[in-house]
Amino acid sequence: MKNSNQEEDKITFKNLRRLYFFALLTIAVTIILSQVLVQYNLNQQLSDSKIINFSGKQRMLSQKIVKEVLILHYVSDSATAKKKSHLKKVLSNWKDNHDALENGSDSLGFPHQKSEILNQLYLEIEPSFSRIYTASNILISNLNDKNKQVENQKLVQVILKNEGIFLSKMNQIVTQYDLEAHEKVTQQRKIEYWIFGFTLFVLLLEFFFIFKPTNKKIEKLITRLLSSEKKALKLAYDTEIISEIKENSVKELKSLNYAMENTLLYCRIAPDGSIIHIGEKFAKLLNYTKFSSNKKFSEVLTTDEKEQLNIDRIIFEKHRSGWQGEIKIVNKENQTIWLDLSMVPVTIKKEESELLIICFNITERKKAQREVERLNIENSTEKINQQKIISSKIVENQENEQNRIAKEIHDGIGQMLTGLKFSLESINLDDKEKSSQKIEYLKKLSLDIIKGVRTATFNLMPPELSDHGIVSSLAKLTQELSKLTGKEILFYNKTDFKQRLDSLIEINIYRLTQEAINNAIKYAESSHIIVQLSHSETLLSIIVDDNGKGFDINEVDKKRNSESGMGLLFMKERIQYINGRVFFKSIPGEGTRITFNIPI
């Protein structure tokens, strides 16, 4: 049924092509015939305007001849010879034009055949033309002979008499030419109307007998095509799963092909280890040539016999399941090369298989790993040494701080408590006057003891830090240090920060700021120290500026074991505990700026 419909569609298409070809051929023939007729008539009319122009020019030339004849006859001057020559040219031109009009001219495009009326008019004008032409030539010849004045006078009369007749007949000729041209245009219009009507008639016939039946056939054909389209869509839907499976297979094949094309080192070997094919780049790496084609893959891969046995063992054991790992080989130049090698089993036929070897040269990576391991060991050793130094310094500072606090308690608070004890024991309640004086003294001593205890505890952990936060504790720290050292130490909360932070973060910020101020006092010999606190949504920033002597940061970094170098290192280590960063900027002779940035 399907083949029958296809055959019927083919026949229908052939018939449609024939009908359309016939319709187009009919229109083309009609257009060609109409153009032939139009061009023929146009060619007939091409010379009409030129002939009318030449006819009018003949009248003008005849009048010019008469005028110059009269001038030559009645006026004699020095230019007579020149005028005679000019008159001869005019006469020659007049005669040539008359012959072209009367007999036709190929060069001018004048037709040789004319209507009966024009032929009659030319016969009637010929005597007058000949008389004027002959008389004018005789007159020109007689001008130099004074004895022929009477004859010349008669010749002038002949010219004047025939001039009127010539002009009258020439007017009739021009009028006749114009009438005939108008008749040709009218005839051309009739022909074009006839062609137009004929074309419309042909189009109507084609519409009723070709286009309309063809349209019905096309509608039937489109209906059949739509039905076929539905069937094709259903068939496409049914085969969509198969197409997807094929597409996936093609994608996998393309991926495999792309991988193979872009793998630098690859080859194919048989299960017994013999080489089937080796890639050009792999061959170049292993110095493999055609002369080595009888060798096994392991023999080409390395010159080390132990490695060869190991590779042969892997091929024998893993030629069905595959293998992946790193191997070290030694090439012919005794260069050690590390390869990341993968063996992929590939089934060619039912009982025939081979191994696809894909390698990556990881020699540089191995060298880099060894270098990284060496550097890591060096860095670890250096870091351990630094940590030891830092730990020893921390212990030393703790001991110094404990000794200082112990000395303050022993020399200050201890002595005051001893004095308080002896004063209490020496009070004699019977002597009221002395007892009251000692009690006043004891009150003052108690206040000094309380003040000393507060100073000691402030150095250990300021109560403002736990009670009010970092802003209050830093303000208190700058005030106390300013009183103790006599230096101008100022604190500015530039962004009005009031937020409380984690206690560990606040303690480290406090100790970092304390360390920076103490360094400015102890080492920088500065007189003015400014502490600025500012913040954003994610960052808290503390800047400590001093006008001290400054230092060379690069030189201090080189001297890690010096006190100043260890101080900078302590700051870097401590701020890392709270995920912050510290920046040092110092100019020798001008001062130092230390910036702490802590995320909040």
The candidate with the shortest Cα–Cα distance to 192, out of 23, 48, 35, 24, is: 35
Is the per-residue pLDDT at 591 higher than 80?
yes
Is the per-residue pLDDT at 492 higher than 80?
yes
pLDDT on residue 478: 93
pLDDT on residue 439: 78
The candidate with the shortest Cα–Cα distance to 266, out of 251, 254, 250, 283, is: 283
**Is residue 285 within 8 Å of residue 337, measured between CB atoms?**
yes
Distances (CA, A) of 446 to 212, 418, 452, 453: 129, 12, 10, 10
pLDDT on residue 560: 56
The candidate with the shortest Cα–Cα distance to 510, out of 475, 458, 470, 456, is: 470
If you average pLDDT over residues 387-398, what whole number do you get?
55
**Is residue 275 within 8 Å of residue 303, measured between CB atoms?**
no
pLDDT on residue 207: 78
Compare 567 and 269 and report the one with higher pLDDT.
269
Q: Rounded to 5 degrees, what angle do the CA atoms 69, 70, 73 make?
A: 85
Percentage of residues of the chain with pLDDT beyond 90: 13
If you average pLDDT over residues 405-425, what whole number do you get?
64
**Is residue 521 within 8 Å of residue 547, measured between CB atoms?**
no
Is the per-residue pLDDT at 177 higher than 60?
yes
**Is residue 125 within 8 Å of residue 169, measured between CB atoms?**
yes
**Is residue 524 within 8 Å of residue 536, measured between CB atoms?**
no
pLDDT band at 249 (very low <50, low <70, confident <90, very high): low
Compare 157 and 34 and report the one with higher pLDDT.
157
If you average pLDDT over residues 24-36, what whole number do you get?
78
Helix, strand, coil content of the chain in percent (nearest 5): 70, 15, 15
> Highest mean pLDDT: which of 91-100, 236-245, 261-270, 540-549?
540-549
Terminal Cα distance for the chain, rounded:
83
pLDDT band at 490 (very low <50, low <70, confident <90, very high): very high
User: The tokens of 294 are what?
Assistant: 């009888």
Is the per-residue pLDDT at 263 higher than 70?
no
If you average pLDDT over residues 401-416, what whole number do you get?
60
What pTM does this model have?
0.34
Give the separation between CA 565 and CA 550, rounded to whole angstroms.
13
User: The tokens of 228 are what?
Assistant: 């076929």
Side chain identity, residue 239: T
Distances (CA, A) of 30 to 210, 459, 563: 17, 120, 115
Condensed to tens digits (0 to 9), the pLDDT of residues 133-165 reads 888 888 888 877 767 777 878 888 888 888 888
Half-sphere exposure of 500 (CA within 13 A, CB side): 8
If you average pLDDT over residues 419-429, what whole number do you get?
69
pLDDT on residue 598: 95
If you average pLDDT over residues 278-288, what whole number do you get?
82
pLDDT on residue 581: 94
pLDDT on residue 2: 47
Is the per-residue pLDDT at 489 higher than 90?
yes
Of the ranges 68-72, 494-498, 583-587, which one carries the lowest mean pLDDT score? Answer: 68-72
Is the per-residue pLDDT at 482 higher than 80?
yes
413: which DSSP letter?
I
Question: Which residues face 369 on adjacent strands?
Answer: none
**Burial status of residue 278 (CB atoms within 10 A of its CB: 0-12, 13-18, 19 or more):** buried
Average pLDDT for the chain: 80
Compare 189 and 452 and report the one with higher pLDDT.
189
303: which DSSP letter?
S
Sequence-separated (6 or more) residues with CB below 8 Å from residue 359: 264, 265, 266, 282, 339, 340, 341, 342
Give the separation between CA 493 and CA 79, rounded to whole angstroms.
123
pLDDT on residue 494: 95
**Is residue 345 within 8 Å of residue 269, measured between CB atoms?**
no
**Is residue 233 within 8 Å of residue 249, measured between CB atoms?**
no
**Burial status of residue 370 (CB atoms within 10 A of its CB: 0-12, 13-18, 19 or more):** exposed
Compare 310 and 451 and report the one with higher pLDDT.
310
> Highest mean pLDDT: which of 82-86, 441-445, 446-450?
82-86
**Is residue 359 within 8 Å of residue 341, measured between CB atoms?**
yes
Of the ranges 159-173, 399-413, 507-521, which one carries the lowest mean pLDDT score? Answer: 399-413
Give the separation between CA 309 and CA 312, rounded to whole angstroms.
5
DSSP string, 525-558: --SEEEEEEEE-SSEEEEEEEE-S----HHHHHH
If you average pLDDT over residues 195-216, what whole number do you get?
78
Condensed to tens digits (0 to 9), the pLDDT of residues 102-122 reads 888 777 777 778 888 888 888
